[in-house]
Amino acid sequence: MSNKSTPSYVNASNIKYRIFYSLWLLQSIYIGAHTLPLSNSALSLVFAITAAILQGGLLSAPTALMCRYIDTSARYRNLSLNIAACISLLVLVANYRLYAMYGFFFNDFVLNIVSTAGGVSALGATPSMWFTFLLLSIGVFLLLFVINRFVPVELLFQRISRSALVAALIAAVLLQTSVYAFAEFRSWNTVLHISDKTAWYIPVTSKGIFKKLGVERKRQVAEYNHKSTGKLNYPPKGVDLNITNHYNIVWLVAESWRWDMLNPETMPRTWAFANDNQRFTHHYSSGNGTRMGMFGMFYGIYGSYWFDFLRAQKAPVLLHTLKQAGYHMQAYTSAKFTYPEFDKTVFSEFPRDKLFSDTDGQPWERDQKNVAKLLNFMDGASQDKTPFFSFLFFESTHANYTFPPQSIINPDYLRNLDYVSTDFAKNIAGIRARYENSSYYLDQQFARVFDYLKDKELLKNTIVIVTGDHGEEFMENGYWGHNSTFSEQQTRVPLIIHVPNTAPAQHEELSSHLDIPATVMRVLGNKASSSTYSFGSDLLDENYHRDSAVISDWHGNALITDDYKLVLSSKGRKHGNRISTKDDRALAKLPAGSSATLKNFLKTLPRFNE
């Protein structure tokens, strides 16, 4: 019988909601374990506790609905509830695993990965990872099954009336939203960091109320990001796209290749090639991920334009010009051209039979096969005297960082890099050793291309570009990998350019992927101003100078100069310093005289929108 003083939905004799209460409790504890250690005051601790409880309950809501509407007499009721709760808890665990690696939870960017062909395979997941995940799933299911079967968690709520529970929840909501709103208004970083680390936290701000109360807003800079109109003006009408120098082009891009891997110990052959050509020592990608890095190096346009170009499926001026000039054009990748969607952007004017994607075997094996295909293509194209463009994307240096046994230069590498079970902070030295070995292997593959071009005497009429799509971080600033922050390690990359009949030189000034299209177009003899089709300039111009480099992620841009780094991206500013030096040391405010650079950036931002 039901006790009249206790609501039936929490009565000890009614276990209908037991699995919901268990899940709520477990998820709140799990969230709290990640956020409570960040608190440094009583108020921030209260905020962390209330946020964890409320978010744990919110994420358990689907299971609560199942508890309410699944017939208690249904044959598989308990099994269904346990499966639902298991999925909910596994999603939460995976969310925090993702955050530990990359600094963000499941979002529209991750949705793009899992919903786009080739996206999941691009993550580099190993069979051992899936096996670990299977064991974790079984363990979570058994835990929930035992609780649902034997532990009367609902007794915790036995003495709570419905009205008291509702009142407590309302009070908790008002408390944590008020604290967050004030923290956001006053840049109270402790609370903001706790909210950032609360999975799928829903922020509520009250700027208008605080202004009316006379509270002073504490912000360094406003947020400036590209506001898309959806209509492109690219290239503007009347731009001269003719070329007079029909050089061949060999374009080599390595996944996650950061600048300091280009050294005589790790990559001796590439180091020698760099010193015989144009080497740019302070060069930055146009993104902290493949999408924006590749977009910038081919279009010379800020990555925040990616979405407009994807919708329009507009090819870059550079490749369109080569196609119009009758070039033989082929591209190879050891990943997929569908993720990111380069088949609809960068290479959208390529016939599909000219895009070669190899996903069989380990990434190092794919790279080896693709180099052979590239050399075979150049052999045929050079014999018929028609200029050619060739592109190859290397995957060896992408996590899990793969290499054959003969390419091991650092034997202290982590043998099994498992995204689910590996403690990244503890094993980061071994993980970086894997990266060094894969970079050494990459050097061997680059050398095959360099040797071919030299042996066939093609260097006298071929432009060669060697660079990375973005960098890779190994916990130097608290993160592993890329796509999470605009740190030096995630954004600075090597750049080597061979230009026929040009003396070797080392360039120390700030440079950007955005300058590559303008440089290639000028070497090809195009006379149009680079400002008509890009945000870049000719790197080889004797008057070349760049005040700032713009780097993009999925959510916006960052501005880098020799004196400071200003993060404008809505996501990027949450992970790391909003204002820092170029090499990521915190700054209290922007240096004097920085306003001119910022104003120029804002002025040029909408250039290619109608």
pLDDT, residue 468, reads 98
Q: Give 398-438 pLDDT, tens digit per residue.
A: 999 999 999 999 999 999 887 777 788 899 999 999 999 99
Q: Distance between CA atoms of 201 and 192, rounded to whole angstroms?
A: 11
Note the Cα 438 to chain centre separation in Å.
20
Residue identified by tokens 């990748």 is 333
> If you write DSSP's letter for every residue of 479-499 in order, what string do you get?
-EESSS---HHHHB--EEEE-
pLDDT at 157: 61
pLDDT at residue 453, as a whole number: 97
Question: What is the predicted pLDDT for the residue at 345?
Answer: 95
Over range 445-467, report the average pLDDT.
Answer: 97
The angle that helices 162-186 and 189-196 make with each other, rounded to 10 degrees, is 120
Return phi, psi of residue 149, to 5°.
-85, -35
Give me the pLDDT at residue 155, please: 63
**Per-residue confidence band for 213, with pLDDT thresholds at 50, 70 and 90:** low
Closest CA to 22 of 78, 97, 106: 78
Q: How far apart are CA 565 and CA 561, in angstroms?
A: 6
pLDDT in tens, 320-342: 999 999 999 999 999 999 888 89
Residue 402 to residue 408: CA distance in whole angstroms = 10
Distance CA 285, CA 461 (A): 27
- Asked if the model's pLDDT at residue 597 lies above 70, the reply is yes
Q: Which residue blocks in 280-413 are alpha helix, DSSP H?
A: 290-299, 306-312, 317-324, 363-383
How far apart CA 419 and CA 100 sit, in angstroms, is: 10
Beta bridge partners of 394: 254
Interatomic CA distance for residues 187 and 199, integer angstroms: 20
Taking Cα atoms as reference points, which of 452, 256, 497 lies closest to residue 363?
256
